[in-house]
Amino acid sequence: MHFKQPEVLFALVFLLIPLLVHLFQLRKYQREDFTNVKFLKKISRQTRKSSRLKKWLVLLTRIFALGSIIIAFAQPYLPAKEQNRITSEKLIYLDNSFSMQAIGNSGELLNTAIQDLLKNIPEEGNFHFITNDEEYRNLNSEDLKTRIEQTEFSVSSLDFQAIELKASQFSNKNMPAEVIILSDFQQQMNFSGNFEGKTSYHLVPYNPENNINFNLDSLYIGERDPEFLQLNFILKSNKANANQITVSVFNAEELLARKTFSFEDEDRLEGNFQLRNEQFPAGRLEIEDNGLQYDNKLYFSINPPQEIKGAAISSELRHSGFLERIFTEGEFEFYNFTTGSIDYNLLSRASFIILNELEEIPSSLRISLEKMHKGGKTIVIIPSEENTAVNSFLGSLQASGYGNLVMQELLITNIAFEHPLLNGVFEDEVENFDYPRVQNYYRIAGGNKILSFQDNSAFLSEQGNIYLFAAPLNSENSNFKNAPLVVPIFYNLGRSAISIPQLYYQVNRANQIEVPVESSGDEVVSFVSETENFIPAQKAFAGKVQLNTEELPATAGNFSIIYKGEGTGNISYNYSREESTGFYIEDFDNAEVYNSVSEYFNNVRSATESKALWKWFVILALIFLTAEMLLLKYLK
């Protein structure tokens, strides 16, 4: 017990006064004579005993009453149990990720957490405040409440390591710090109980009432013909169940189809819609469930096919006839040149260029190709038997060239099935087929092997945006042009020359998109939706603009690609489904866990407030004074 005014305790000396008065009473007794002396002596002895007891009891009550009053004026108190929490820094982390859309006992989890904070934030003191996408330092009570009220759902989420890092950046190393975390604590938070330093963690979990959530996970195009396409989708649940879910597909606000699917005690199902093969500028799949809402829509865009421009340069036109049969009109705008008849204006528009068995490369062509290579164009080289000019050209591109010509027949036996160029070409990994062969070939150093000979040396190698064949493909040297591989290889080389927009991209991820427009450098490409309009980072090349999006867009949806005030296509973005799992942390190790925000702040108050005891001593003084009055009145 401590005292705020300990000097008042010197007044306890005055307790000697009633004691001295009691011990040195100067009261005189008068002698009276009575007839029956024996009887009076007996009464006298009994009265004297009770009088002495009464005086001692009255003395004690007076001493205790006076002492209690003196101690009350000294203001006694019990010090705070955790005095350092008074000066500790406090950081509040409010989880505003999409998983907080779940419904709890008091409604939506995020809104419940916001209301709890607004009701219980103390009026005194400063706080640091962070969410998944915002952070503020040293806010007073009013500013903190304003920021809390403005909190909305964020596409981002922080794991525990990121929260720890922010806490270390915000706090003073010489002062203790408390981090209050309000979250539903999904497992991807990767909560760790290994706490170090002066920072303590106080957790307020918010638990959803309904723990079953359905989400539209992904979609892709299955079979496709000139009239119809099959749109396949995957629907997931965080728990196996037998529920039925209705899935609808829209193009903008037009309902195209609707089906009901049953999970049949599974946590995953695959379904599809048969739709007309047409443009879908604002496609959308949609479901309804009682779980999270952000994952109930899946946006997608299907743009009209665009012709890809390509060119082949051969020593003679007859050598490129097989290429013309592969790169047909409708999908490709393909030009065939000889070294003496190159239209450089058309060549500059091409997204891929095939050098088909050239023995010489004119200097003007070489300069154009070097410029196109820097612009990200794809260059495919089929060597001739005299390959010195090509090697010199590859050296200027800092690419490894060809070795010596090897006069030996080899079979092309190895296929890199996982390479993007061959993705989807084979239903199964084929091991035994009619292997193509070559009579003579060159050794290729470096690069990623796509097709290989039986001795594991490269037949087709990739070096960035340069593709090298190891052997001439004329009929005298190879039968590769007659093999089944020739069509998918060259077709996919042409298709991969330009990045065709996907069905959808993910918000808050690095995405690279190419838009086939001729940019003058003064105009920019922008993305426009009903709720958002932004200009992505972009870089202009010949015949295309390369776009990079990461922080934008902020919301999922369908966007129009606008260039020079006109639409040039459509693009869609969706939120990540990481928050849809619905698996929560149950073991918090050594962290302090509270049932509510008010419980935490009550704990802080009780731990940091000293307990005043003067009221109890005033009550004791009144009790002793009352006891004295009762003794004087009723004890004879």
Per-residue pLDDT band at 299 (split at 50, 70, 90): very high
Are residues 194 and 129 part of one domain? yes
Are residues 315 and 167 part of one domain? no
CA distance 430 to 419: 15
Q: What is the pLDDT of residue 574?
A: 92
Residue 487, in any domain of the structure: yes
Where does a domain end: 492, 508, 534?
A: 492
Per-residue pLDDT band at 239 (split at 50, 70, 90): confident
- Whether residue 36 is predicted with pLDDT greater than 80 in this model: the reply is no
Are residues 70 and 169 part of one domain? no
Give the residue among 618, 352, 303 at the shortest CA–CA distance from 495. Answer: 352
pLDDT in tens, 112-148: 999 988 888 888 778 888 898 888 888 888 888 899 8
Per-residue pLDDT band at 286 (split at 50, 70, 90): very high
- Whether residue 37 is predicted with pLDDT greater than 60 in this model: the reply is no
Are residues 594 and 471 part of one domain? no
Residue 140, in any domain of the structure: yes
Label each residue of 240-260 as H, E or C: EECCEEEEEEEECCEEEEEEE
Query: Which domain covers residue 184, as residue numbers?
Result: 83-210+582-609
Are residues 349 and 470 part of one domain? yes
Are residues 92 and 33 part of one domain? no
Query: What is the DSSP code (8-state) at residue 200?
Result: E
Are residues 158 and 200 part of one domain? yes
Are residues 199 and 90 part of one domain? yes
Amino acid letter, residue 276:
R
Number of domains in the chain: 3
Per-residue pLDDT band at 511 (split at 50, 70, 90): confident
Are residues 349 and 468 part of one domain? yes
Q: What is the pLDDT of residue 300?
A: 92
Residue 294, in any domain of the structure: no
Q: What is the pLDDT of residue 443?
A: 87
Mean pLDDT within 270-290: 88
Label each residue of 105-116 as H, E or C: CCEEHHHHHHHH
- Mean pLDDT taken over the chain: 80
Residue 499, in any domain of the structure: no
Are residues 484 and 341 part of one domain? yes
pLDDT in tens, 145-166: 899 888 888 888 888 888 888 8
pLDDT in tens, 314-338: 887 777 788 888 888 877 888 888 8
Phi and psi for 391 in degrees, rounded to 5? -60, -40
CATH number at residue 590: 3.40.50.410
Per-residue pLDDT band at 478 (split at 50, 70, 90): confident
Percent of residues, the chain, with pLDDT higher than 90: 4
- Whether residue 430 is predicted with pLDDT greater than 70 in this model: the reply is no
Q: Under DSSP, is residue 357 helix (H, G, I), strand (E, B) or coil? A: coil
- Whether residue 48 is predicted with pLDDT greater than 80 in this model: the reply is no
Q: What is the pLDDT of residue 84?
A: 53
Q: What is the pLDDT of residue 141?
A: 85
Are residues 369 and 336 part of one domain? yes
Q: What is the pLDDT of residue 68?
A: 75
pLDDT in tens, 167-196: 878 776 666 778 888 888 888 877 766 556
pLDDT in tens, 82-100: 555 555 788 888 988 888 8
Task: Return all residues near 417 (Cβ < 8 A) that are at least 6 apart.
Answer: 426, 429
Distances (CA, A) of 412 to 355, 389, 423, 429: 21, 26, 19, 15
Residue 470, in any domain of the structure: yes
Are residues 100 and 61 part of one domain? no
Residue 263, in any domain of the structure: no
Per-residue pLDDT band at 285 (split at 50, 70, 90): very high
**Bigger pLDDT: 105 vs 428:** 105
Amino acid letter, residue 110:
L
Mean pLDDT within 221-230: 80
**Bigger pLDDT: 342 vs 2:** 342
**Bigger pLDDT: 522 vs 220:** 220
Where does a domain end: 492, 518, 535?
A: 492
- Whether residue 111 is predicted with pLDDT greater than 80 in this model: the reply is yes
Q: Are 82 and 607 in contact (CB under 8 A)?
A: yes
Residue 448, in any domain of the structure: yes
- Whether residue 371 is predicted with pLDDT greater than 80 in this model: the reply is yes
Residue 531, in any domain of the structure: no
Q: What is the pLDDT of residue 297?
A: 92
Q: What is the pLDDT of residue 449?
A: 86
Give the residue among 62, 14, 16, 44 at the shortest CA–CA distance from 631. Answer: 62
Mean pLDDT within 594-614: 71
